[in-house]
Amino acid sequence: MDISIIVPLYNEEESLPHLYDWIVRVMEENKFSYELIFVNDGSTDNSWQVIEQLKAGNDKRKNAAGQVHGICFRRNYGKSAALYCGFKAAQGNVVITMDADLQDSPDEIPELYRMITEDGYDLVSGWKQKRYDNALTKNLPSKLFNATARKVTGIKLHDMNCGLKAYRCEVVKNIEVFSEMHRYIPYLAKNAGFTRIGEKVVQHRKREFGTSKFGLDRFVNGYLDLLTLWFLNKFGKQPMHFFGLVGSLMFFIGFIAVIVVGGMKWYALAHGVRAMLVGVNPYFHIAILMMILGCMLFLAGFLAELVIRNSPSRNDYLIKKEI
């Protein structure tokens, strides 16, 4: 099978028939064999009934080049969960993800497919260079977010969170999308060893039906998730390298500070100078606090190492080839 198209959705009953017709037209014009996987993320409208109708109608089509599949969650779990299940079910050589709101154009699929199969990319991310969103609430925060993501991840993408992406099948089978990490799939792919990551300018269309399902909180959560991924990538297998180092530095600085405070007291007594009691000196308490925190961080790193050593995934490595 050439292509698996994964469409995560939440309350998009009006746009689904239009999206289905558009995708089928593009696939048949380019003679692709394909599967279309709708992942209904606990919609409260009639989205699932529409998917069932599209599935039934597609099955009745003679000589249909594609199949329609549907996955329906019992409740709303989020886009990452939808993509995870879609990736697990995908069978195509190239996997395409796109949103169901008709803001992503299926006409981009043939070129994305070519970039994977002919240009040799592992992943190609769309770049909506010209957007039709609100400049203040979406465009500006998005630019700041992507600038930070480029700096932290080292991946030079203008729109890391674009829903329209193409993947080599091997990529989606070797990464795990969880929590709200769908924003950083290129970073997950890079950490898994898939470094050929490209970008393509794609068309952004105005939303025709419904409203956006994402609020401003996604930017706050996005920064926190980025820090989590960075930390897991750098210290996930060796937590002692972080906690032990920071804890040791804090303990050492606190210990030196205690010696300095005690030395100042001793010097004052030796020269008959009136000096503050060590017990009421604020610097003494700060130094003791740093020593305690240093010990706690060191112990946290030690315990984390014990957990890692006993983890069943401690020796999970991605093997590219064997002979």
Query: Could you report the per-residue pLDDT of 165-179, keeping only the tens digit for each?
Result: 999 999 999 998 988
126: CATH: 3.90.550.10
Domain shared by 176 and 267, yes or no:
no
Provide the domain count of the chain: 2
Q: What is the pLDDT of residue 178?
A: 84
> What percentage of the chain exceeds 90 in pLDDT?
57
Q: Angle, nearest 10°, between helix axes 109-117 and 16-29?
A: 50
Domain span at residue 281 reads: 240-309
**The pLDDT of residue 237 is above 90:** no
Q: What is the pLDDT of residue 169?
A: 95
Domain shared by 172 and 275, yes or no:
no
Domain shared by 229 and 274, yes or no:
no
pLDDT in tens, 113-159: 999 999 999 999 999 887 766 655 566 777 888 888 898 899 999 98
Whole-prediction pTM? 0.80
pLDDT in tens, 246-261: 999 999 999 999 998 8
Domain shared by 147 and 269, yes or no:
no
Q: What is the pLDDT of residue 119?
A: 95
Q: What is the pLDDT of residue 134?
A: 60
Of the three residues 200, 217, 235, the one that is the final residue of a domain is 235
Domain shared by 148 and 289, yes or no:
no
Domain shared by 205 and 155, yes or no:
yes
Task: Give me the residue label for tokens 């009136």.
Answer: 274
Domain shared by 304 and 160, yes or no:
no
Judge whether 273 lies within some domain. yes
Nearest 5 degrees, angle CA 313-CA 316-CA 91?
110
Domain shared by 62 and 118, yes or no:
yes
Classify residue 134 as left (phi > 0), alpha (psi -120 to 50) or beta.
beta
Task: Give me the residue label for tokens 């060191």.
Answer: 298
Domain shared by 211 and 280, yes or no:
no
Judge whether 319 lies within some domain. no
Q: Angle, nearest 10°, between helix axes 47-60 and 16-29?
A: 30
* CA distances from residue 140 to 128, 147, 217, 248 in whole angstroms, order as listed: 14, 11, 14, 41
Judge whether 209 lies within some domain. yes
**Band of pLDDT at residue 243, cut at 50, 70 and 90:** very high
Domain shared by 256 and 132, yes or no:
no
pLDDT averaged over the chain? 88
**At 308, is the secondary structure helix, strand, or coil?**
helix
Rounded CA separation 187/78 (Å): 19
Domain shared by 195 and 255, yes or no:
no
Q: What is the pLDDT of residue 210?
A: 67
Domain shared by 224 and 245, yes or no:
no
pLDDT in tens, 180-232: 889 899 999 999 999 999 999 998 887 777 666 665 666 677 788 888 888 88
Give the mean model confidence (pLDDT) for residues 102-111.
94
Q: What is the pLDDT of residue 17?
A: 95
Judge whether 275 lies within some domain. yes
Of the three residues 216, 235, 254, the one that is the final residue of a domain is 235
**Band of pLDDT at residue 272, cut at 50, 70 and 90:** confident
**The pLDDT of residue 313 is above 70:** no
Judge whether 321 lies within some domain. no
Q: What is the pLDDT of residue 138?
A: 64
Q: What is the pLDDT of residue 3?
A: 97
Judge whether 315 lies within some domain. no
Q: Which two tokens stand for residue 186?
A: 């290129």
Judge whether 163 lies within some domain. yes
User: Which residues does residue 96 pair with via DSSP β-bridges, in sequence order?
Assistant: 5, 166
pLDDT in tens, 3-26: 999 999 999 999 999 999 999 999
Q: What is the pLDDT of residue 211?
A: 67
**The pLDDT of residue 312 is above 80:** no
Judge whether 318 lies within some domain. no
Of the three residues 195, 213, 235, the one that is the final residue of a domain is 235
